């Protein structure tokens, strides 16, 4: 157990109150017949209770528990990715070694070895797993398989591990600001998704990339970007070492990156002709559907903070 900063504790309480209010309002609207598919909405809210509960439990338990949680998320995400993207039967042993990179990557996070953390997967795992795939002696489908494995690892393990590294990132004189940075990143990323959805539904007319994601509109993108940038300006100085100017820049980066993370996974699903990446989270689909934006926002936000504040 740790004594984390008061802003983090206050933010956790506000999030729980907001989730409780959303649940009560949705339940009342469902009873009044104002929602067309109330069971789907309530199912999504129940999943959010589990998601928020696990995240907050890890925060209360300390840095190690939070790092382990994100390591487990990387494992589930990589597993889900490899379950929807075809791989060769001959690569099953190579895939085993891909899974073994997860505890190693998060161990590097836990000991704050930035130099190895930043190159372990894109260099060492990239080279070693490629050679191991060559040693299977199977040439057919090699380029496809090696590309799928490495791209999947970069998204689900390498990118996501940047969220965990925020917890141990040294920031000069700032003491234990990691949980605030992590909460800021996750909240802004999710709020960007929500605001893009709401603005798209209310004002959306012109499609951005209809062939990839027909529901994405310019109104949704710009509305979400403006909302998360404004919200970041207020929440950044409260939760993180950033002042208003750098918080606004961070919000803008998260808004743009989150959009492209979302449509990238949408493109994967379009290519595979599937609606959801899985059924792990009732009402949300798969885990990749829930962290698609985070896989793009986390490394960019991490290096933004490290460049200006570390």
pLDDT digits (tens, 9 = 90+) for 167-221: 999 886 555 578 999 999 999 998 898 888 888 878 878 999 988 888 889 999 9
Q: Is the pLDDT of residue 1 over 50?
A: no
Question: DSSP letter at 251?
Answer: H
Residue whose entry in the numeric block shows the structure tokens 């487990």: 72
Give the distance, in angstroms, between the CA of residue 44 and the centroid of all CA atoms in the same chain: 17
Over residues 99-153, the pLDDT tens digits come to 999 999 999 999 999 999 999 999 999 999 999 999 989 999 999 999 999 999 9
Q: Is residue 50 over pLDDT 90?
A: no
The strand pairing partners of 207, in sequence order, are 217
The residues that bridge with 171 in the sheet, in sequence order, are 174
CB 161 within 8 A of CB 295: no
Across the range 16-33, mean pLDDT stands at: 77
293 pLDDT more than 60: yes
pLDDT in tens, 79-99: 999 999 988 988 999 999 999
Task: Report CA-CA distances (Å) from 112 to 17, 42, 260, 273.
Answer: 34, 40, 29, 40
CA dist., res. 70 & res. 47, Å (int): 17
Tell me the pTM. Answer: 0.91
* Cα–Cα distance measured from residue 281 to residue 61, given in angstroms and rounded to the nearest whole number: 23
Question: Is the predicted pLDDT of residue 235 greater than 60, yes or no?
Answer: yes
Question: Across all residues in the chain, what is the average pLDDT?
Answer: 88
Q: Per mean pLDDT, which range of 17-21, 39-43, 50-54 is the poorest?
A: 39-43
Residue 304 Ramachandran class (φ > 0 left, ψ -120 to 50 alpha, else beta): alpha
Q: Has residue 72 got a pLDDT over 80?
A: yes
d(CA 198, CA 55): 25
The C-alpha torsion from 9 through 11 and 16 to 18, rounded to 10°, is 160
Contact 219, 270 (CB under 8 A): no
The predicted structure's pLDDT at residue 154: 97
Q: Quick one: pLDDT at residue 244?
A: 94
163 contacts 105 by C-beta, under 8 angstroms: no
Residue range 248-269, pLDDT digits in tens: 999 999 999 999 999 999 999 8
Residue 37 confidence (pLDDT): 65
């Amino acid at each position: 157990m740790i004594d984390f900063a008061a802003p983090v504790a206050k933010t956790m309480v506000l999030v729980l109150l907001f989730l409780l209010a959303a649940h009560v309002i949705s339940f009342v609207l469902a009873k009044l017949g104002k929602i067309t598919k109330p069971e789907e909405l309530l199912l999504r809210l129940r999943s959010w209770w589990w998601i928020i509960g696990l995240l907050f439990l890890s925060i209360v338990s300390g840095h190690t528990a939070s790092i382990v949680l994100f390591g487990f998320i990387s494992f589930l995400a990589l597993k889900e990715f490899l379950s929807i993207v075809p791989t060769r039967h001959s690569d099953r042993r190579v895939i085993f070694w891909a899974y073994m990179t997860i505890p190693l990557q998060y161990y590097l996070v836990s000991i704050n070895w930035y130099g190895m953390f930043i190159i372990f997967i894109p260099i060492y795992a990239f080279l070693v797993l490629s050679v191991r795939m060559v040693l299977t002696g199977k040439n057919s489908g090699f380029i496809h398989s090696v590309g799928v494995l490495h791209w999947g690892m970069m998204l689900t393990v390498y990118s996501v591990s940047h969220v965990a590294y925020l917890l141990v990132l040294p920031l000069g004189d700032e003491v234990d600001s990691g949980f605030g940075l992590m909460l800021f990143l996750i909240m802004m990323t999710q709020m960007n998704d929500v605001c893009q959805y709401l603005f798209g539904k209310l004002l959306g007319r012109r499609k951005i990339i209809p062939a990839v994601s027909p529901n994405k509109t310019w109104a949704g993108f710009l509305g979400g970007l403006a909302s998360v940038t404004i919200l970041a300006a207020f929440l950044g100085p409260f939760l993180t070492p950033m002042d208003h100017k750098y918080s606004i820049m961070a919000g803008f980066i998260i808004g743009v990156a989150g959009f492209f993370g979302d449509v990238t996974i949408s493109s994967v699903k379009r290519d595979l002709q599937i609606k959801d990446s899985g059924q792990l989270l009732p009402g949300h689909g798969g885990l990749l559907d829930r962290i698609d934006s985070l896989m793009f926002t986390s490394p960019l936000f991490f290096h933004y903070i490290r460049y200006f504040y570390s």
